[in-house]
Amino acid sequence: MTSATSPSRSLVRALPLPRKLGRLAMATIAFLVVVLTSLALAAPPASALPVTGRGHGFYSASGGGFWLGSWRLADGTLAFCVNTERSTPNGQEFSYADGAALGWYDSDAAARLAYIARTWAGTTDPTTAAAGQIATWTLTGLGRHTQEELAAKAGPHAGAVLDLTRRMLEETERSASRSVSASLKFDRSADGEVLLTPTLTVDRIASGPGPAPAGGHAGTATVTGATFDGGLTTAVVRNGDAVPIHVESEKAIVDVSASVTFDGLNYGNALTMAVAQGGAQNLLTSRGSPASASTALTTTLPSTRSFQPVVSTRTSTAVAEAGATVFDTLVIGVEPNESSLSEWPVIGEPGGPFSPVPVTVRSRLLGPFDGEIVAAKEPPSDAPVVCEVSLIVTTGPGEYSTPSCILPGVGSYVWVESIIPTDTAVADGGTRILPWTSPFGVTSEITTVPPPAAPPVETDQPDAVSRPTPMLPETGAEGDRAISLVLVALALLTTGTACMIRRRAPDRTGAQW
C-alpha cells in the first residue's frame, strides 16, 4: 500500500503552478454551472410577468379599498380584469396566451371583448379606463355586482362612468367583428383606363359581412404584367380606392396578376390574454392583436400601349370615262415599333370578351389635275376635292373598300387617306391610336379620264368616182348559182376575145386584118 501511494503524493508535490491554477479554474466553472442551473430551474418561465400596479382609473377607499380601472404589467401593457369574483391581480405573475387557444369565449363574445381591448384598454383617461373595466365585466360576468354599484366606486365621476359604460357597450355591439377579409377587382373606367380596386369586407356581429369604410386602411399592392404610375410594380393603396394600372405589353392581351396585403387592422376577434399563475383575475390586455387580410387575383387585360395603323391602297380602275364611279381598296394593318403594339389592339372588360379597337379611315378623291402627277408627302393645299368618304373598321386588319365617288370630267384623280385618333371615342381606345396619313401621288391611287377621241379630219379633194356595181335580183340559192355561172362565162369571153379572133392574112400591100 505504501509503495503504491508514495509516488502519487510525490507527483502532486511536483506539479508546476500553472497546472494547479488550471485545475482550480475548472473546478470553479463546474460549481458555477451547477448553481446557475439550479437557479434557472427554480425561476418562473421567462414569459411570466408580474402586475406592477394600477394603470388608470379611480380608487375607492371604502369597504377595504377598491380599484376601478386598468392594471399595468411589468412590460407596460395595460389590461382589464375579466373575473369579478377572483382576487386582485396586483403583484401576481402572468403569462400571455392566445385567447382563441384558451377556448374561454365563443366567436361573438371574443369579438366583443377584442373590440373593447383594441379601443379602450390602452387608454390613459381615468373615466374611460373605469368605464372600460365595467364594460368588460358586463361581458364576462358581473357576479354579484351591478353596473351602478361598480360605477359608484368612481365617486363623483360615477355618473359619467356609468353613461360611458353603456355607450361603450352599444358601440361594441354595433361595431365588433368576427373577421376581416380582402378582395381585389379589375375594372375599366369610362375613358378606357384599367383600374385596380382593393376592398376590405368586415363580418360584424350586428350586421354580417359588409365593406369597411372606404379609404380607412392602407395596404401594399403588387402587380405582375403591369405597372402603377411611375412604372413601379408596388404601391401603397387604400381600401375602396381605385388606382390606375398600365399594361405595357407589346401583345394585345396579357395575363396580369395582382396581390394586396393589409396589416394592423382593428377588426376580428383575436385576443391576447394575460393568464394568472395563481388564483388572481385573468386579464384582457391591450397588447396588439391586429388582424391582417390579403388576397391575390389573376386575369387577362388589354394592353394599354398605343399602336400605329397603316393603310396600303389602290384605286378601283386606272382609266375611266367621265361620269364613271370609282372606289378605293384599303389593306389595313399594324406597323410595330419599340414603344407600340405589334398587333391590333382590343378593348373589353377585364377577363374578356374583347373586341378590336375601331378605327375610322377618311378617304378623299382629289382632282382633276392637268398634266403629270408628281409624288409628294402631302397633297397640294389648294387641290380640288371631288368627294370625301369614310370607312369605320371594326374588325381589325384586312382588306376593305371605300364608298364610291363619281368622276366629273377629264383629268387625273388621286385618292389620299388619313386616320385621326379623335374619330374614335376615348372609351373605345381612341387615345391608343397613332395618327396616319398617306402620301400624295402614289401610282396605284391615280385614275385618269382621257379626253374623247378627235373626229375625222375633212379635206378639199373631191370624192373619187366609183362605178356602181350592178345589182342583180335576189333569186335564192339556185338563182345565185345560175348568176355565178353567167358571170364566169362573161369573164371568160371578155378576157379571151383576143385569143378567139383570128388574124387576117396580110394582103399584097402588107396590111393585115
pTM of the model: 0.70
Give the pLDDT score at 473.
47
Give the pLDDT score at 278.
86
Give the pLDDT score at 9.
33
**What is residue 403's DSSP assignment?**
P
Whether 148 and 211 share a structural domain: no
Spell out, as residue ranges, where the chain has pLDDT lower than 70.
1-47, 457-513
* Best CA proximity match to 448, nearest among 331, 328, 315, 311: 315
Q: Which residue has the cell 376580428?
A: 268
State whether the Cα torsion 449-450-454-455 is positive or negative. Answer: negative
**pLDDT tens column, 412-460:** 999 999 999 999 999 999 999 999 999 999 999 999 999 988 777 666 5
Please tell me whether residue 80 adopts helix, strand or coil conformation. strand
Whether 435 and 317 share a structural domain: yes
C-beta neighbour count of 385 within 10 angstroms: 12
Check which CATH number belongs to the domain holding 345 and give it.
2.60.40.1930
Cα–Cα distance, 119 to 164 (Å, whole number): 13
Q: Where are the beta strands (DSSP E) in 266-410?
A: 272-276, 283-285, 291-302, 309-315, 325-326, 328-334, 346-347, 355-356, 359-369, 385-393, 398-401, 405-406
Give the pLDDT score at 462.
55
Q: Name the domain count of the chain.
A: 3
Whether 372 and 415 share a structural domain: yes
State whether the Cα torsion 184-187-189-192 is positive or negative. Answer: positive
Whether 53 and 130 share a structural domain: yes
State whether the Cα torsion 48-150-171-108 is positive or negative. Answer: positive
Residue 141 covered by a domain: yes
| Chosen domain end from 449, 468, 498 | 449
Check which CATH number belongs to the domain holding 248 and give it.
2.60.40
Whether 351 and 405 share a structural domain: yes
Residue 343 covered by a domain: yes
131-132-138 Cα angle (round to 5): 90
| Chosen domain end from 404, 420, 449 | 449
- Give the largest CA-CA distance in the chain: 213
Residue 144 covered by a domain: yes
Whether 206 and 160 share a structural domain: no
Number of C-alpha atoms within 13 angstroms, CB side, residue 378?
4
Whether 334 and 427 share a structural domain: yes
C-beta neighbour count of 179 within 10 angstroms: 18
Whether 191 and 148 share a structural domain: no
Whether 74 and 125 share a structural domain: yes
Give the pLDDT score at 40.
36
**pLDDT tens column, 204-230:** 999 999 999 999 999 999 999 999 999
Contact 452, 438 (CB under 8 A): no
Which residues span the domain enclosing 255? 178-266+290-302
Whether 144 and 164 share a structural domain: yes
Residue 34 covered by a domain: no
